[in-house]
Structure 1
Amino acid sequence: MNVLIVEDEALAVEKLRSTLRAVEAQAAVVGVTGSIRSSVEWLRTHPAPDMILMDIELSDGQSFEIFRQLQVRSPVIFTTSYDEYAIRAFKVNSVDYLLKPVEEEDLKAAMQKYRDVHQKQPALPAFDVNVLVKELQAQLKQPEYRERFLVKLGQRFVTIDTSEIAYFFVDGRLYYLVTADGKKYTIDYTLEELEQMLDPKFFFRAGRSYLVHLRSVVQIHSYFNGKLKLQLKPAVLGSDVVISKERTGEFKKWMGR
């Protein structure tokens, strides 16, 4: 059995390795990843493992985002520090969840459950991660979002409150923050990383190049092929800010929330 471990704490990785060896002598750890980005890259470039042991909280966000970026074809056993009351939500989706630190008896039982299910239904169906996330959000405290950014201004640093930001954008390999009064600063985060840091009630990903604040959208125009074109304040020069046809419904719902 080939196993991928998705865990960002070195001690937890070693604990999982030793526990796995104790309960599954034939298991081989074929990879270890510690972030959403590295996990997605690993799964895209390697054959699907027989099993994934996956922590929920990773260095760059919750591991549920992995399932939004690609189809995970392997059965997953989540490891979590959440209490048992919260874990009830997971059980609805017929996926196993183990409290950390993972004990041999618990992992052994989870492996046996996988075998029992796999024998009856070799092609395991994908579970709906969106349902899972909604159930968790109803029971767990909401995540803490970024309130300010430290940016460089000449030879000094200044802080920019999130409420002052109009939008973020990428130009080539550089990422920028633009404030409501039109000031522009370079930042060290990608748009994907910023999406994890910012409250989705106020920020929306517009295409590949923009992450916009609700208040920065001053006009919305119909565009070709069912797309939408946004007019932002401060104005964007030299490029269009476009919402794809596939995301127009989601965008309209976000704007009217």
Structure 2
Amino acid sequence: MKVIIIEDERAAVRNLISLLNEVRPEAEVVTVIDSVAGTLEWFAEHPLPDLLFMDIHLADGSAFEIFEHIPLSCPIIFTTAYDEYALRAFKVNSIDYLLKPIGQADIEHALQKLEHLHASPPSGTQHEQELLQLMRLLNKKESFKSHFLIPVKGDKLLPVPVEMIRLFYIRGCQVKAVLNDRSEYAFTQTLDELTDCLDPAHFFRINRQYLISREAIKDIDLWFNGRLSVNLHHFTPSEKILVSKARVGEFKEWFSSSVR
């Protein structure tokens, strides 16, 4: 299988090639192109590959501009951090739409889908169902909180972007948030409610007492009985923050996936 990668982030290219080598070592990456102009030049002189991996946001414009100039009839797997392009991607021969950061399971699933489609092309009804599922996913992602209004000093509301929050924790019956400047604020929501309204790509529920962001983690100690002990940059708890043995695998996968 001959593959072309259209991507302008070197780290993303390295990650994608590494993942392909793991899940489909027989795949040959013919070339890597980092721009709209470069893509147009390449396909003016070369045949289509068996598969294209294409980032939507390139250095010199949107990848969708490419389709205005040349017909790319080969299968395409889009890779991007921007959900709003999903439905448009499906209109231009897309096999799948992978949101960064991309993991091995994402690549494996997309390639299995490609192989399945080669063996049995989907009916219009099946394709419509896949689009509906994607729309539900995007609607869920769009509902995640990006800001909070935190009551302070009784008569003021402090607007706080989620990016400034490093962790939430419970002390007694009170939920508190710790910001990147180490300031703390009380929240009226429960930790369960906060877990549901925050993007799981950014926050992980370590245990019943802690919901933390990746940026809060200083280092991690191996602990007894297969558990992990998490040490934080912005907060020193009175007890160990432990990840249970049952969630260690999930935690490692979340942490290593990196924030997009």
* TM-score (norm: length of structure 2): 0.46
Name the TM-score, length of structure 1 as normaliser. Answer: 0.47
